[in-house]
Chain A
Amino acid sequence: KQEVTQIPAALSVPEGENLVLNCSFTDSAIYNLQWFRQDPGKGLTSLLLIQSSQREQTSGRLNASLDKSSGRSTLYIAASQPGDSATYLCAVSGQGGKLIFGQGTELSVKP
Chain B
Amino acid sequence: DAGVIQSPRHEVTEMGQEVTLRCKPISGHNSLFWYRQTMMRGLELLIYFNNNVPIDDSGMPEDRFSAKMPNASFSTLKIQPSEPRDSAVYFCASSLTGTGYSNQPQHFGDGTRLSIL
Contacts and interface: CB of A to CB of B under 8 A. Distances in A.
A51 B103 CA distance: 6
A42 interface: yes
Given A43-B111, A96-B48, A32 B55 contact: no
B97 interface: yes
A105 to B, nearest CB: 12
Nearest to A53: B102
A98 B91 CA distance: 14
Given A49-B103, A97-B97, A44 B108 contact: yes
Interface in A67-108: 89, 91, 93, 96-104
B8 interface: no
Chain B: interface size category: 20 to 34
Contact of B110 (A43, A97, A101): A43
Contact of B95 (A42, A89, A97): A97
A46 B105 contact: yes
A52 B55 CA distance: 23
A34 interface: yes
Interface residues of A, number: 25
Contacts of B45: 98-100
B58 to A, nearest CB: 10
A36 B91 CA distance: 14
Nearest to A97: B97
Nearest to B96: A97
Interface of A: 31-32, 34, 36, 41-46, 49, 51-52, 89, 91, 93, 96-104
Interface of B: 4, 31, 33, 42-45, 48, 50, 55-56, 91, 93, 95, 97, 102-111, 113
11 contacts: A31-B102, A34-B106, A44-B91, A91-B43, A96-B48, A97-B31, A97-B33, A99-B33, A99-B45, A100-B45, A104-B42
